[in-house]
Structure 1
Amino acid sequence: MSPPIDLPPRPRSRRSERVWLWVGGVLLVLLAILYRVSLPAPMPGVFDLQRATASLPLDPRTPARAVSLPHVLDDEGPAWWDRVDYVLPWPQALGEPAPSPRRLALLIPRVGMGMRVLLNGEEIYRFGWEAPPDRTVNATWFPHLVLLPERLLAERAPDNELTIQVQAQVLERSGLWPVHIGDADQLIPRYQTLHFWQVTGTWMMAMVSLLVGVLALVMWRSLRERLFLLGGIASLAHAVRMVLSVVPDLPLPYDTYFFIHRVSFSVYAGFFILTVEELFGRRLRWVRLAAWALIAIAPFWMLWILLLQDYSLYRVWAGAMATLAGISLAWAVFDNLRRRQFSDEHRLVVVVATFTLITAVRDFLVVQLNFPGDADLRWTSIGGSALMLTMGWVLVDRATEWARAVHRLNDTLAQTVAQREAELRTAFQRLQLAERQRVAEEERRRLMRDMHDGLGSQLVQTLNMVRSAGAVLDRGPIEAMLAQALDELRLTLDSFEPMEGDLPAILGTLRRRLGPALEAAGIELRWEVQDVPPIEALDSRGVMHLFRCLQEILANVVKHARARRIIVSTWLGDDHIVLSIEDDGVGMPPPQARQTEGRGLRNVLTRAAKIGAEVRFYDAHPGTGVELVFPVHGPTPESDSDWLRRGA
Structure 2
Amino acid sequence: MRWLLLLCFICWLAPAQAEQPVHITKAELLTIPGHRYSPPPYEADDTKLQGQWQAVTLPHALIRQLTPLTDPEQLANPPTVVTWYRMQVPVLPAVGEPRYLYIPRWKTDGQIAVYGDRRLLYQSHQSINWNGWNIPLWIALDATAGATPPRTILLRIERPAGSGGGISTLWVGTDDSLNWRYRIRNLVQVQLPYASSSAFLAVGLFSFFVWLRLRSESIYLLFFAISVASFLRTLHYHVGETRLPISDEWFSWITINATFALVLATQFFLNYLHRRPLRWLNYTVVAYTVLIGILTLPWLSFLIDAYSLAPLAYLALMFVGVTVTGVGVVLCWKAGSREGLMLSGWGITGMLLALYDWLLQNNYVDIESIYLGPFNNIGAFLIFMYIIYQRFVDANASLQRRLKQREDELEITHRRLREIALMQQLHEERMRLTQDMHDGMGSSLVTALLAVERGNADAGMVADVLKHCIDDLKLTIDSMEPIEADLLLLLANLRYRLGPRLESAGIRLRWEVADVPMMEWIDPRNSLHILRILQEAFTNIVKHAAASEIRVATAVEGETVVVIIDDNGKGFSVAAGVENEGKGLRNQRRRAASIGAEVTVEPGDHGGTRLVLRLPVAR
Q: Which interval holds the TM-score relative to the shorter structure?
A: 0.5 to 0.7
Contact 2:560 / 2:614 at 8 angstroms: preserved in 1?
no
- Name the CA shift for 1:45/1:402 in 2 (closer, same or farther; >3 Å): closer
- Pick from 399, 409, 415: which aligns with 2:389? 399
Contact 2:360 / 2:369 at 8 angstroms: preserved in 1?
no
- Pick from 193, 203, 207: which aligns with 2:195? 207
For 1:315 and 1:524, how far apart are their aligned partners in 2? 119
Contact 1:111 / 1:177 at 8 angstroms: preserved in 2?
yes
How far does residue 180 in structure 1 lie from its aligned partner after superposition? Answer: 6.0
- Give the structure 2 partner of residue 341 of structure 1: 335
SS of equivalent residue, structure 2 residue 134: coil
Matching of residue 330 in structure 1 with residue 323 in structure 2:
yes
Matching of residue 356 in structure 1 with residue 350 in structure 2:
yes
Name the count of aligned residue pairs.
548
Contact 1:549 / 1:608 at 8 angstroms: preserved in 2?
yes
Contact 1:529 / 1:568 at 8 angstroms: preserved in 2?
yes
SS of equivalent residue, structure 1 residue 138: coil
Identity %: 18
SS of equivalent residue, structure 1 residue 496: helix
- Give the structure 2 partner of residue 116 of structure 1: 113
SS of equivalent residue, structure 1 residue 373: coil
- Pick from 579, 582, 596: which aligns with 1:613? 596
More deviation in 136-145 or 559-568? Answer: 559-568
For 1:512 and 1:425, how far apart are their aligned partners in 2? 40
- Give the structure 2 partner of residue 46 of structure 1: 25
Amino acid at match of 1:489: I
Structure 2: gaps spanning 5 or more residues: 1-21, 41-48, 55-60, 94-98
How far does residue 481 in structure 1 lie from its aligned partner after superposition? Answer: 6.4
Structural mapping, 1:526-541, within 5 Å: 528-533=512-517, 535=519
- Name the CA shift for 1:315/1:229 in 2 (closer, same or farther; >3 Å): farther
Contact 1:234 / 1:269 at 8 angstroms: preserved in 2?
no
Amino acid at match of 2:352: I
Structural mapping, 1:385-534, within 5 Å: 385-396=375-386, 399-400=389-390, 403=393, 407=397, 410=400, 445=434, 449=438, 452-457=441-446, 459-460=448-449, 463=452, 467-468=455-456, 479=460, 482-483=463-464, 485-497=466-478, 498=481, 500=483, 502-510=486-494, 528-533=512-517
Contact 2:208 / 2:220 at 8 angstroms: preserved in 1?
yes
- Name the CA shift for 1:215/1:528 in 2 (closer, same or farther; >3 Å): same
For 2:524 and 2:141, how far apart are their aligned partners in 1? 111
Contact 1:266 / 1:321 at 8 angstroms: preserved in 2?
no
How far does residue 451 in structure 1 lie from its aligned partner after superposition? Answer: 6.1
How far does residue 551 in structure 1 lie from its aligned partner after superposition? Answer: 4.1
How far does residue 301 in structure 1 lie from its aligned partner after superposition? Answer: 8.4
SS of equivalent residue, structure 2 residue 516: coil
For 1:573 and 1:323, how far apart are their aligned partners in 2? 94
- Name the CA shift for 1:546/1:254 in 2 (closer, same or farther; >3 Å): closer
- Pick from 138, 142, 148: which aligns with 2:135? 142
Amino acid at match of 2:379: L
For 2:129 and 2:617, how far apart are their aligned partners in 1? 80
- Name the CA shift for 1:515/1:289 in 2 (closer, same or farther; >3 Å): farther
Amino acid at match of 2:529: H
For 1:287 and 1:560, how far apart are their aligned partners in 2? 104
- Give the structure 1 partner of residue 587 of structure 2: 603
For 1:312 and 1:431, how far apart are their aligned partners in 2? 81
Any idea what the Cα deviations from partners look like across 1:57-110, whole Å, max 9, x if unmatched?
Answer: 9599xx9889997599996666669x975445x58xx79x99x9xx99895622
How far does residue 452 in structure 1 lie from its aligned partner after superposition? Answer: 4.3
How far does residue 126 in structure 1 lie from its aligned partner after superposition? Answer: 0.4
For 1:429 and 1:305, how far apart are their aligned partners in 2? 74
SS of equivalent residue, structure 2 residue 31: strand
Contact 1:567 / 1:582 at 8 angstroms: preserved in 2?
yes
For 2:25 and 2:308, how far apart are their aligned partners in 1? 35
Contact 1:55 / 1:84 at 8 angstroms: preserved in 2?
yes
Contact 1:570 / 1:580 at 8 angstroms: preserved in 2?
yes
| CA RMSD between the two structures | 6.4
Contact 1:51 / 1:67 at 8 angstroms: preserved in 2?
yes
Amino acid at match of 2:513: V
Contact 2:599 / 2:614 at 8 angstroms: preserved in 1?
yes
SS of equivalent residue, structure 2 residue 114: strand
How far does residue 312 in structure 1 lie from its aligned partner after superposition? Answer: 1.6
- Name the CA shift for 1:495/1:67 in 2 (closer, same or farther; >3 Å): farther
SS of equivalent residue, structure 2 residue 438: helix
- Pick from 298, 302, 306: which aligns with 1:305? 298
SS of equivalent residue, structure 1 residue 126: strand
Contact 2:225 / 2:265 at 8 angstroms: preserved in 1?
no
Contact 2:353 / 2:373 at 8 angstroms: preserved in 1?
yes
Structural mapping, 1:240-259, within 5 Å: 242=234, 245-247=237-239, 249-250=241-242, 253-255=245-247, 259=250
How far does residue 448 in structure 1 lie from its aligned partner after superposition? Answer: 5.3
For 2:550 and 2:256, how far apart are their aligned partners in 1? 96
Amino acid at match of 1:354: I
For 2:369 and 2:503, how far apart are their aligned partners in 1? 119
- Name the CA shift for 1:337/1:458 in 2 (closer, same or farther; >3 Å): same
How far does residue 517 in structure 1 lie from its aligned partner after superposition? Answer: 9.3
Contact 2:168 / 2:368 at 8 angstroms: preserved in 1?
no
Structural mapping, 1:31-430, within 5 Å: 46-47=25-26, 49=28, 51-54=30-33, 70=62, 86-88=83-85, 109-119=106-116, 121-123=118-120, 125-129=121-125, 138-144=131-137, 162=154, 164=156, 166=158, 177-179=165-167, 200-215=188-203, 225-239=217-231, 242=234, 245-247=237-239, 249-250=241-242, 253-255=245-247, 259=250, 263=254, 266-267=257-258, 269-270=260-261, 273-281=264-272, 282-283=276-277, 305=298, 308=301, 312-314=305-307, 323=316, 327=320, 330=323, 333-334=326-327, 337=330, 340-341=334-335, 343-365=337-359, 367-368=361-362, 372-378=364-370, 381-396=371-386, 399-400=389-390, 403=393, 407=397, 410=400
Amino acid at match of 1:629: L
- Name the CA shift for 1:210/1:619 in 2 (closer, same or farther; >3 Å): farther
How far does residue 164 in structure 1 lie from its aligned partner after superposition? Answer: 1.4
- Name the CA shift for 1:49/1:228 in 2 (closer, same or farther; >3 Å): farther
SS of equivalent residue, structure 2 residue 156: strand
Contact 1:458 / 1:481 at 8 angstroms: preserved in 2?
no
Any idea what the Cα deviations from partners look like across 1:180-236, whole Å, max 9, x if unmatched?
Answer: 678969xx9999989867862343233223334445665787795532442244225
- Name the CA shift for 1:375/1:181 in 2 (closer, same or farther; >3 Å): closer
- Name the CA shift for 1:192/1:238 in 2 (closer, same or farther; >3 Å): farther
SS of equivalent residue, structure 2 residue 366: coil
For 2:206 and 2:39, how far apart are their aligned partners in 1? 56
How far does residue 456 in structure 1 lie from its aligned partner after superposition? Answer: 0.8
Contact 2:230 / 2:262 at 8 angstroms: preserved in 1?
no
SS of equivalent residue, structure 2 residue 369: coil
Contact 1:349 / 1:390 at 8 angstroms: preserved in 2?
yes
How far does residue 486 in structure 1 lie from its aligned partner after superposition? Answer: 1.5
Any idea what the Cα deviations from partners look like across 1:265-284, whole Å, max 9, x if unmatched?
Answer: 64564255324422343356
- Relative to the length of structure 1, the TM-score reads 0.60
- Name the CA shift for 1:316/1:523 in 2 (closer, same or farther; >3 Å): farther
For 2:182 and 2:565, how far apart are their aligned partners in 1? 105
- Give the structure 2 partner of residue 472 of structure 1: none
- Name the CA shift for 1:354/1:541 in 2 (closer, same or farther; >3 Å): closer
SS of equivalent residue, structure 2 residue 226: helix
How far does residue 489 in structure 1 lie from its aligned partner after superposition? Answer: 1.8
